[in-house]
Amino acid sequence: MDDELARRLLGVLERVEPWLPPTPVEVDWNRDVAALWQRHMLGGHLTPVPPRDALRLDDLLGIERQKQALVDNTRAFLRGYPANHALLWGARGGGKSSLVRALLNDLAGEGLRLVQVDRHDLAGLPVLVERLRREPHRFMVYCDDLSFEGHDDAYKALKSVLDGTLTGPPENVLLYATSNRRHLLPESMSDNDDSRLVGEELHHGDAVEEKISLSDRFGLWLGFRPFDQTTYLEACAHWVNWLGDDGDWNDEARGEAIRYATLRGGRSGRVAWQFACQWVGRLRLEA
């Protein structure tokens, strides 16, 4: 009888085991500076990841005001002073995600740690925040390319953590997000149906107020706009010199950079980096 029971239990375990999450690698925050939060049916776990690259703040050109504002806000947070959650929004390729990566590389030595959360895992954000509350380090919880669809309720977990619960986020956690749009929820013309004038004041309807309220909970808004040609060429020169050798940036390269941006339909830090990769790679092949 005992052998039969053991055999049946073993069979059940073999069927259930593929559905269980993998055994997580333990994060050591004294060694690891970044981790991914991955939600699963039993909660979630942190997976340590190495820094993606050696990008530094000085490598990012054309966004000096945004850099300074985010560095000041983050340093205040690291020193235990009041600081705001930050929303980096604007033109694609403008340097939003790169700024967050460079911020971690420059400030990890001052105690900054990063946890990246995918938008689809935001429902588990309250669990993550409570786990980080017990840690002695200071964390930037980061969501890249954040936006929501019309019937996506994941934003409610984010709203709750930002400023909607009795306890609020712990003092050792700050939320940073990047997005191509300032208002993170989709907006439609019908949302304005309930808006009305009261005297000379415009009062928005409930639908508009709901969609604005999420981005309003980020105290620091940083806008990113397309580069002008001068800034774009400065970025191209920087990345060509960073990837290649002295002399790789010249009048020919400048002309090719302008043509490359024209073909891509815009100028940005991302386009400058992509041009530099193409230009330096071609020079090396020809050599």
What is the distance between the alpha carbons of residues 48 and 20, in angstroms, rounded to a whole number?
Answer: 19
Average the pLDDT over each of 21-25, 148-152, 243-247, 275-279 and give the range with the smallest value. 148-152
Average pLDDT over residues 111-137: 88
Grade residue 53 by pLDDT with cuts at 50, 70 and 90.
confident
Cα-based distances in Å from 140 to 112, 117, 197, 248, 275? 7, 11, 41, 38, 31
The answer to whether 257 touches 236, Cβ cutoff 8 Å, is yes
| pLDDT of 206 above 50 | no
Give the containing element (helix H, strand E) for 194: none
Average pLDDT over residues 227-246: 94
Average pLDDT over residues 179-185: 69
Grade residue 101 by pLDDT with cuts at 50, 70 and 90.
very high
What is the distance between the alpha carbons of residues 101 and 117, in angstroms, rounded to a whole number?
Answer: 14
Question: How large a percentage of the chain has pLDDT more than 90?
Answer: 52
Cα-based distances in Å from 199 to 18, 108, 196, 249? 63, 52, 10, 60
Grade residue 192 by pLDDT with cuts at 50, 70 and 90.
very low
Amino acid 113: pLDDT: 96
Grade residue 10 by pLDDT with cuts at 50, 70 and 90.
confident
Amino acid 7: pLDDT: 78
What is the distance between the alpha carbons of residues 118 and 141, in angstroms, rounded to a whole number?
Answer: 10
| pLDDT of 24 above 80 | no
CA 75 to chain centre: 18
What is the distance between the alpha carbons of residues 18 and 39, in angstroms, rounded to a whole number?
Answer: 16
Amino acid 199: pLDDT: 59
Q: Where are the beta strands (DSSP E) in the chain?
A: 34-40, 43-48, 86-90, 112-117, 138-143, 173-179, 196-198, 201-203, 220-224
Most confident option among 14-18, 154-158, 166-170: 14-18
Q: Concatenated DSSP letters for 116-140?
A: EE-GGGGGGHHHHHHHHHTSSSEEE
| pLDDT of 138 above 50 | yes
Specify the higher pLDDT residue, 150 or 243: 243
What is the distance between the alpha carbons of residues 171 and 11, in angstroms, rounded to a whole number?
Answer: 47
Closest Cα to residue 147, out of 112, 187, 175?
Answer: 187
Residue 15 DSSP label: H
